[in-house]
């Protein structure tokens, strides 16, 4: 009975360190001995003029090195450049006015965090409270309190677009179907909060800033942050450790704190560390934008949607913090979703309110978009009397590539087959039978569907859409999303790929290593992946970073480009070892750690060829490269700037998710239970099935949080009501025990060398609305309409109660 000891084989190279407590996160790092610690003083008022700030008592507290407040920030920091011309200046802390509860007002730097918080209590700010507006619709009214007087409005951007004959389609329509919907703000709540270490220094060339932060980009914010401090990017060096404890977009909001801590370091004369605590995180880090929206469909006799009118108003909080208003535009190219709709009219507004600023959140812009679009498709089904699956089937995009009216180019897919797979494998008929049985027993049961197009690999050209085409500066267009990877080979033939992809825990190193090893015909042990970002050493561009599902389509493509260039050099060296003419290099095969001449069958070891590059480059003919390091870039095709007609292909690749949910609702307690979730994904070529499944599960749980639990609520007076985990409820393992049926199909993208697309955000976009559709279906007989989230007993009780009275 000598049982084999149970062994655990990690699915990812990163896992052993993480589960054995040897990961190194920002707060574990101590790159600059003597670093002091900061605490941030925050506004308790949602809207108040700052009459004065008395920092002297805090400065005099033993152990305090510096305190900076409105005056110091006003004197040294320039407002961040915004993507619209509306005068709503945004600084990293409040200068003349505080505009949301939790807005930084002062920073105390001391020997440790306890002392810093003791002294922070001594900062006295004289506030004059102002009128507050937290509701998006209210903020749009002409007599609403203004957050930014100089703008004269709370509307930060207001654009209208029309593609195709929308009015004609509505005139000719058999039915018009309309829905008004509200999407809440919620987060992804990374386990690790924001962390910054900043050092201000001066040398012969002037001031410089060196920063360590768990900031995963986009690195458009590097010039933005440097510029706020009056520095060129070359004097601003950012380090990002290999381990980031999650973000899902939320940590892209960290850069104002980078600026603030750099200034604090300047005043303290020492490096400064700030680690955000959980209350700070829930009060003032970031969240997805809230949205109020109206969707309207023109529908023909057969249930075909011939045109859409879409009116979006995003609550972006107190400032249009870049990269907002991108929530409006991230999904511009796929705004018609899974459907072949030839005409669409759009109004897109971003509105400021006395809430914390918003930003990236897993499924960026898609959660909000598809909540409206997929609720609307259920309304179309109700109006036409068609089944919810059938009405979707009739409208699906069928031929690829498909050009959307807004300029998107759906690269590949098979939406019809994905829907069929969902219906058959997910057991649509079975769930409908359960519904019949439940209703006979007097219980609530509902089935909900959601079909979403899942964009990956941003074309930042969409940022231009916030500005009317006529006002966009010629020669200053934005486009694309280049990714660069550096591959090198050492003297023993070990290949290292250096990624600038700044992962937040997704497993980039694991996949990059396997992609490179497969391409070079090497065992994975002979390949390493390094993922530390140092803007002074790692290749990067302004679009680098870990966001918009870039890794699978872009980074792996750059890995291929880099190792191919490196292989060119190693193949050349092999011709010397094999006694072949230089021109034979291109024809050599790489496999099993060897380089083989297919015509003669002779071969040499990869590592011997690499060794020659290092030891004996003199043996190489002059026309063969001697490089041991190669940068490879991938510049996505079809990613060009917005056209003069405001069309844009806002992403490189477009994946697909078909999702179905069966819910039970206890007729007495109104508790919602997920009976089954079925999820079919098409992310093109599957790079790693285990990691893909992990991404799908993670996105599902994120969507579950938004659908049933998570919400940043504010009182009418502007006080946050979800600032601790007592009130901001994330799903735990106890809430995720639902039955899951998942499957995949693979429609490789023709636009990338591997055909892979992003897969980590799709279900974050689809599950919230799939659950809403299921709950609406369950309570349809009770006459209850579902037009917002989150859904839970109290929410349903209110809806049913309202109906009864």
Partner 1 sequence: MKSAPFAYHRPGSVADAVEVLAAGDAKVLAGGQSLVPVLAMRLGRPGTLVDVTALPELGGLGIADDELRVGAAVRQRRVERDPTTARVPLIGRAMPFVGHRELRSRGTVCGSLAHADPAAELPAVAACVGAIVEVTGPRGDREVAAAELVTGAMTTVVGADELITAVRFPTAGRGEGFGFAEIARRHGDFALAGVAIRVRAVAGAVKDATLAAFGVSDRPVVRDVTDLLAHAVTEPDLRPATDALAADVVDTAGDAHGSTAYRAHLLGVLAARELARAHRQALPGDPS
Q: Between 108 and 312, whose beta carbon lies closer to partner 1?
A: 108
The two three-digit tokens of residue 671, written as one number: 């508790």
Tokens 């058999």 sit on residue: 174
Q: Select 205 or 804, whichever has its Cβ closest to partner 1.
A: 804
Distance (Å, whole) CA 605 – CA 617 = 17
Quote the least distance from Cβ 650 to partner 1, whole Å.
35
Give me the least distance between CB of 37 and partner 1, in Å please: 10
Tell me, what DSSP letter sits at residue 687? S
* Least CB distance to partner 1 at residue 672 (A): 11
Per DSSP, the three-state class of 104 is: strand
Residue among 234 and 732 whose Cβ is closer to partner 1: 732
Using CB under 8 A, list all residues that contact partner 1: 113-114, 117-118, 121, 277-280, 668-669, 671, 709, 713, 721, 724, 726-727, 729, 731-732, 734-735, 792-794, 797-798, 801
CB of 756 to partner 1, least distance (A): 36
Q: In which order are the strands placed within the sheet that holds 206-213?
A: 64-68, 104-110, 36-42, 272-275, 195-203, 206-213, 236-240, 533-534
Kindly tell me which of 59 and 278 has the beta carbon lying closer to partner 1. 278
Nearer to partner 1, 113 or 425 (CB): 113
- Give the span between the Cα atoms of 766 and 366, in whole angstroms: 8
Reported as type and span, the H/E element at residue 422 is: helix 415-425
Helix (H, G, I), strand (E, B) or coil at 316: strand
| Measured distance CA(594)–CA(613) in Å, rounded | 16
- Closer residue to partner 1 (CB): 178 or 798: 798
Q: Which is nearer to partner 1, 615 or 725 (CB)?
A: 725
Smallest separation, CB 27 to partner 1 (Å): 14
CA–CA separation, 294 and 309 (whole Å): 8
DSSP state of 720: B
Task: Provide DSSP, 240-294.
Answer: E-S-----TTGGGGGHHHHHHHHHHHHHHTS-EEEE--HHHHHHHS--PPEEEEE
Element spanning 207, H or E: strand 206-213
Tokens linked to 564: 């191919």
Q: Which residues are registered as beta bridge partners of 155?
A: 351
Closest approach, Cβ 318 to partner 1, in A, equals 22
Question: Nearer Cβ to partner 1, position 29 or 279?
Answer: 279
Helix (H, G, I), strand (E, B) or coil at 399: coil
In whole angstroms, how close is the CB of 279 to partner 1 at the nearest point? 6
Least separation in angstroms between residue 734's CB and partner 1 is: 4
Q: Which is nearer to partner 1, 40 or 466 (CB)?
A: 40
The nearer residue to partner 1, 116 or 554, going by C-beta atoms, is 116
Residue 745: both structure tokens together: 């199909």
In angstroms, what is the minimal distance from the CB of 112 to partner 1? 9
Hey, how many other C-beta atoms are within 10 angstroms of the C-beta on 112? 12
Peptide bond into 616 cis (omega under 30): no
In the complex, the smallest distance separating the C-beta of residue 453 from partner 1, rounded to whole angstroms, is 32
Measuring CA to CA, which residue among 777, 753, 710 is closest to residue 288?
710
């Amino acid at each position: 009975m000598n049982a084999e000891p149970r062994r655990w084989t990690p699915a990812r190279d990163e896992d052993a360190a993480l589960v054995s407590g040897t990961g190194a996160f920002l707060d574990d790092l101590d790159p600059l001995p003597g670093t002091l610690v900061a605490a941030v003083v925050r506004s308790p008022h949602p809207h108040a003029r700052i009459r004065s700030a008395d920092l002297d008592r805090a400065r005099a507290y033993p152990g305090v090195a510096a305190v900076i407040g409105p005056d110091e920030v006003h004197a040294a920091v320039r407002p961040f450049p915004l993507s619209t011309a509306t005068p709503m200046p945004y600084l990293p802390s409040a200068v003349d006015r505080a505009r949301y509860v939790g807005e930084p007002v002062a920073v105390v730097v001391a020997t440790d965090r306890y002392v810093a918080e003791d002294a922070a209590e001594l900062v006295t700010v004289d506030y004059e409270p102002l009128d507050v507006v937290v509701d998006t619709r209210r903020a749009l009214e002409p007599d609403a309190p203004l957050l930014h007087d100089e703008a004269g409005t709370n509307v930060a951007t207001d654009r209208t677009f029309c593609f195709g004959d929308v009015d004609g389609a509505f005139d000719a329509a058999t039915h018009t179907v309309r829905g008004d919907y509200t999407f809440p703000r919620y987060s992804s709540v990374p386990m690790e909060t924001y962390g910054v270490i900043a050092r201000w220094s001066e040398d012969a060339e002037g001031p410089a800033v060196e920063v360590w932060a768990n900031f995963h980009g986009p690195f458009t914010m590097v010039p933005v942050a440097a510029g706020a401090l009056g520095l060129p990017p070359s004097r601003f060096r950012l380090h990002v450790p290999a381990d980031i404890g999650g973000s899902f977009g939320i940590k892209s909001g960290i850069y104002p704190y980078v600026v603030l801590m750099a200034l604090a370091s300047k005043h303290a004369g020492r490096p400064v560390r700030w680690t955000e605590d959980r209350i700070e995180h829930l009060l003032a880090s970031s969240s997805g934008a809230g949205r109020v929206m109206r969707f309207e469909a023109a529908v023909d006799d057969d249930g075909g949607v011939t045109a859409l009118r879409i009116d979006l108003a995003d609550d972006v909080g107190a400032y249009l913090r870049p990269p907002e208003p991108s929530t409006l535009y991230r999904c511009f190219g796929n705004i018609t979703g899974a459907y072949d709709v030839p005409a669409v009219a759009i109004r897109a507004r971003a509105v400021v309110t006395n809430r914390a600023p918003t930003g990236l959140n897993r499924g960026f812009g898609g959660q909000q978009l598809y909540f409206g679009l997929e609720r609307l498709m259920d309304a179309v089904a109700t109006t036409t009397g068609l089944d919810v699956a059938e009405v979707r089937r009739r409208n699906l995009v069928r031929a690829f590539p498909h050009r959307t009216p807004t300029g998107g180019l759906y690269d590949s897919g098979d939406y019809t087959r994905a829907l069929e797979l969902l219906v058959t494998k997910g057991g649509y008929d079975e769930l409908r039978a359960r519904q019949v049985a439940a209703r006979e027993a007097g219980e609530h049961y509902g089935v909900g569907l959601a079909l979403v197009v899942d964009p990956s690999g941003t074309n930042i050209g969409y940022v231009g859409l916030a500005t009317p085409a006529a006002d966009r500066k010629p020669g200053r267009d934005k486009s694309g999303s280049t990714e660069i990877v550096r591959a090198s080979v050492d003297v023993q033939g070990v290949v290292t790929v250096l990624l600038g992809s700044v992962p937040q825990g997704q497993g980039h190193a694991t996949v990059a290593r396997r992609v490179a090893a497969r391409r070079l015909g090497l065992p994975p042990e002979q390949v390493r992946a390094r993922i530390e970002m140092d803007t002074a050493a790692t290749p990067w561009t302004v679009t680098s970073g870990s966001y918009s599902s870039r890794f699978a389509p872009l980074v792996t493509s750059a890995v291929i480009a880099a190792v191919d260039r490196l292989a060119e050099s190693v193949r050349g060296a092999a011709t010397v070892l094999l006694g072949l003419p230089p021109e034979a290099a291109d024809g050599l095969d790489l496999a099993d750690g060897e380089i083989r001449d297919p015509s003669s069958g002779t071969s040499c070891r990869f590592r011997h060829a690499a060794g020659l590059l290092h030891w004996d480059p003199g043996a190489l003919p002059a026309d063969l490269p001697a490089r041991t390091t190669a940068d490879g870039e991938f510049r996505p095709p079809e990613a060009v700037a917005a056209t003069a007609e405001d069309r844009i292909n806002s992403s490189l690749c477009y994946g697909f998710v078909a999702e179905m949910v069966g819910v039970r609702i206890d007729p007495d307690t109104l508790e919602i239970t997920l009976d089954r979730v079925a999820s079919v994904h098409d992310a093109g070529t599957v790079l790693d099935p285990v990691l893909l499944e992990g991404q799908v599960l993670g996105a599902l749980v994120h969507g579950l949080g938004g659908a049933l639990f998570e919400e940043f609520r504010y009182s009418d007076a502007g006080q946050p009501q979800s600032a601790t985990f007592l009130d901001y409820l994330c799903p735990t393992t106890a809430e995720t025990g639902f039955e899951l049926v998942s499957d995949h199909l693979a429609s490789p993208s023709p636009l990338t060398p591997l055909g892979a697309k992003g897969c980590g955000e799709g279900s974050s976009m689809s599950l919230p609305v799939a659950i809403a559709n299921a709950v609406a279906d369950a309570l349809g007989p009770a006459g209850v309409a579902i037009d917002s989230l989150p859904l839970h007993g109290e929410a349903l009780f209110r809806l049913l109660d309202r109906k009864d009275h």
